[in-house]
Chain A
């Protein structure tokens, strides 16, 4: 299966700053990657689909200007949380996988905004 590396695993930032999270597919060329957010004791909520070489597709209710996604290569997608606020504190996790097959998840990034 695909190996997905996500970095950083934990980050604490001050309110108003921006944080970049990287998702790397180490052995799988991913034309699409997915970004999820998970609040404590809740489910994974899909935020957006990252498309290699084109704009990301955002789910309803997700602010595209706040959560910037860049997918410049087949192995790397980045999620930048801009002007972070305490309510953005969450577990962010990416996944890759071919259609109708299992999803391979990164280790996740726990973001705390203080």
Chain B
């Protein structure tokens, strides 16, 4: 079945530094979504990428979808303590009813002040 791999699993970042988390799917995706989950909370939608090679920015966050629609990345610049949490990518399946997503393993981000 479809697998979505995400690296790194953990990211310890010094406040102010940049980092990137990467997402790779075993199959071509209809879309890739990114979510952020704080400890004890539920996933909160960040963004969706649909087009091959698409790049979207949200303030300090830059999201990219690969040309083959099988990989994606999230780059955060000037990390702040509010960026703490787990970032998940989730791949949308091409032949699936509704919004069926396969989640990556997540990158757990800790920020050192």
Contact = CB atoms under 8 A, between A and B. Distances in A.
B109 to A, nearest CB: 13
Interface in A3-45: 30-34, 36, 41-45
Interface in A35-69: 36, 41-46, 49, 51, 60
A34 B90 CA distance: 14
A100 B50 contact: yes
Given A42-B105, A43-B105, A43-B106, A102 B33 contact: yes
Given A32-B100, A34-B101, A99-B96, 10 more contacts: A36-B103, A42-B105, A44-B43, A44-B103, A60-B1, A98-B98, A99-B92, A99-B99, A103-B45, A105-B43
Interface in B31-77: 31, 33, 41-45, 48, 50
A107 B42 contact: yes
Contact of A103 (B30, B50, B96, B99): B99
Interface of A: 1, 30-34, 36, 41-46, 49, 51, 60, 93, 95-108
Interface of B: 1, 30-31, 33, 41-45, 48, 50, 88, 90, 92, 96-106, 108
Given A44-B103, A100-B31, A106 B42 contact: yes
The 4 A-B residue pairs whose C-beta atoms are closest, nearest first, are: A32-B98, A97-B99, A102-B45, A105-B42
B52 to A, nearest CB: 14
A114 B33 CA distance: 36
Contacts of A44: 43, 88, 103
A41 B98 CA distance: 27
A97 B108 contact: no
B61 to A, nearest CB: 15
A35 to B, nearest CB: 11
Given A44-B43, A44-B88, A99 B97 contact: yes
Contacts of B1: 60
Contact of A96 (B48, B99, B102): B99
Given A42-B105, A43-B106, A102-B48, A34 B42 contact: no
